[in-house]
């Protein structure tokens, strides 16, 4: 059972991006969303059933004590009137209290410019970092979290947000960056770390293209051979370079060139042109 279904069953329930310790509500959580259901709407049997379907977060009260809680969830201004900040989202496979304490200590030594961080659920944390000249790039941050995973026997997925000026609405920014992260977690298995550049095309193209009859028809007509999807994906990653793509695919360059020529003959789509390559990449992202 998901939140959308429960909202239809309990129309008086309200959806929030965080949990609550209010004893008048039962909180059902799913993918960092929290449905607050008034307990007076629930029979004893319903309450027991819902309890069996979810594990309430233990982070609600502690989270609200943090200075950036209201900034990220209640449209409040940051506690300082200067600087630019980015939000780093961290999704854990599992955690226990001892590991959290040690992980927190190590994290602060590696990222000394954090101004706040806290757990929204027992396996999902938000880190807020102020801009500084030595702020780590995404590749360096990936190395940091790989090292932390090795030290604490964890497996994490990371989304690194952009830096935004202190006058912006960080609640709205987080809502959109979190949606990007969720989309990548649901659709991309092999990657560990994401940012706007690596996520925006997949997210916005999916939401804009998925209902297009024209685009869906093109996909099914053009990509009947399974290996074409891997070819397009790697060709895009290598910015259209055929030699690098052939190497990544463990394929002879002439074999790859033959497949590209055949594809062009059938579709009149020249993958040496970036517009054509982008169209094909868009189709594979949306419909594969």
Predicted confidence (pLDDT) per residue in 102-154, tens digit: 888 888 888 999 999 988 888 889 999 999 988 999 999 999 999 999 988 88
Regarding whether 184 and 128 lie in a shared domain, the answer is yes
- Angle 182-186-191 from CA coordinates, rounded to 5°: 90
DSSP result, 180-211: HHHHHHHH--S-SEEEHHHHHHHHHHHHHHTT
The domain boundary residue, chosen from 29, 56, 83? 56
Tokens of 230: 């891997």
Question: Which residues are CB-contacts of 55 (< 8 A; sequence separation ≥ 6)?
Answer: 29, 122
Find the helix or strand (DSSP H, E) in which 251 lies: none
More confident residue, 274 or 58: 274
Q: Which residues constitute the domain of residue 26?
A: 3-56
- Structural domain total, the chain: 3
For range 67-85, the mean pLDDT? 92
DSSP result, 48-103: HHHHHH----S-HHHHHTSTTHHHHHS-PPPSSSS-EEEEEEEEES---HHHHHHH
Regarding whether 174 and 283 lie in a shared domain, the answer is no
Band (250; pLDDT cuts 50, 70, 90): very high
Residue 273 has pLDDT above 80, yes or no: yes
The single residue listed with the structure tokens 């190395």 is: 143
Find the helix or strand (DSSP H, E) in which 160 lies: strand 156-160
The domain boundary residue, chosen from 173, 189, 204? 204
Band (157; pLDDT cuts 50, 70, 90): very high
The domain boundary residue, chosen from 155, 175, 204? 204
With 0.95 as the threshold, say if the pTM is over it. no
The single residue listed with the structure tokens 């394929």 is: 251
Regarding whether 189 and 130 lie in a shared domain, the answer is yes
- Is 121:140 a contact under the CB 8 Å cutoff? no
Q: What is the DSSP letter of 113?
A: T
CATH classification of the domain holding 192: 3.30.70.270
Residue 188 has pLDDT above 80, yes or no: no
Regarding whether 157 and 104 lie in a shared domain, the answer is yes
Q: Would you state the pLDDT for residue 116?
A: 94
Regarding whether 78 and 34 lie in a shared domain, the answer is no
Regarding whether 129 and 13 lie in a shared domain, the answer is no
Regarding whether 237 and 188 lie in a shared domain, the answer is no
Q: Would you state the pLDDT for residue 225?
A: 84
Regarding whether 173 and 155 lie in a shared domain, the answer is yes
Question: Which residues are CB-contacts of 169 (< 8 A; sequence separation ≥ 6)?
Answer: 75
Q: Which residues pair with 121 in a beta bridge?
A: 124
- Is 77:166 a contact under the CB 8 Å cutoff? yes
User: pLDDT for 194-236, tens place per residue?
Assistant: 998 888 888 887 777 888 888 999 999 999 888 999 999 999 9
- Is 219:287 a contact under the CB 8 Å cutoff? yes
Regarding whether 153 and 71 lie in a shared domain, the answer is yes
């Amino acid at each position: 059972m998901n939140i959308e279904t429960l909202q239809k069953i309990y129309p008086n329930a309200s959806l929030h991006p965080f949990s609550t310790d209010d004893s008048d509500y039962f909180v059902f959580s799913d993918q960092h969303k929290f449905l607050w259901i008034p307990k007076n709407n629930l029979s004893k049997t319903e309450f027991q059933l819902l309890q069996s379907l979810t594990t309430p977060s233990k982070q609600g009260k502690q989270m609200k004590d943090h200075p950036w809680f209201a900034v990220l969830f209640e449209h409040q201004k940051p506690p300082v009137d200067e600087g630019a900040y980015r939000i780093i989202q961290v999704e854990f496979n599992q955690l226990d209290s001892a590991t959290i304490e040690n992980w927190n200590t190590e994290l602060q030594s590696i990222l000394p410019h954090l101004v706040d961080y806290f757990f929204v659920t027992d396996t999902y944390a938000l880190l807020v970092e102020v801009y500084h000249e030595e702020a780590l790039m995404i590749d360096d941050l990936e190395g940091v979290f790989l090292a932390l995973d090795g030290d604490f026997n964890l497996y994490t997925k990371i989304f690194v947000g952009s830096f935004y000026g202190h006058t912006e609405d960080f609640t709205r920014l987080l809502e959109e960056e979190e949606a990007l992260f969720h989309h990548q977690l649901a659709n991309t298995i092999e990657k560990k770390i994401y940012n706007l550049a690596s996520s925006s095309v997949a997210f916005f193209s999916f939401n804009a293209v998925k209902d297009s009859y024209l685009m869906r028809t093109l996909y099914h007509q053009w990509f009947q051979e399974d290996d074409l999807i891997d070819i397009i994906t790697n060709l895009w990653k290598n910015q259209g370079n055929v030699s690098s793509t052939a190497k990544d695919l463990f394929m002879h360059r002439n074999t790859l060139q033959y497949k590209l020529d055949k594809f062009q003959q059938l579709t009149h789509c020249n993958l040496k042109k970036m517009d054509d390559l982008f169209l094909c990449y868009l189709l594979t992202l949306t419909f594969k």
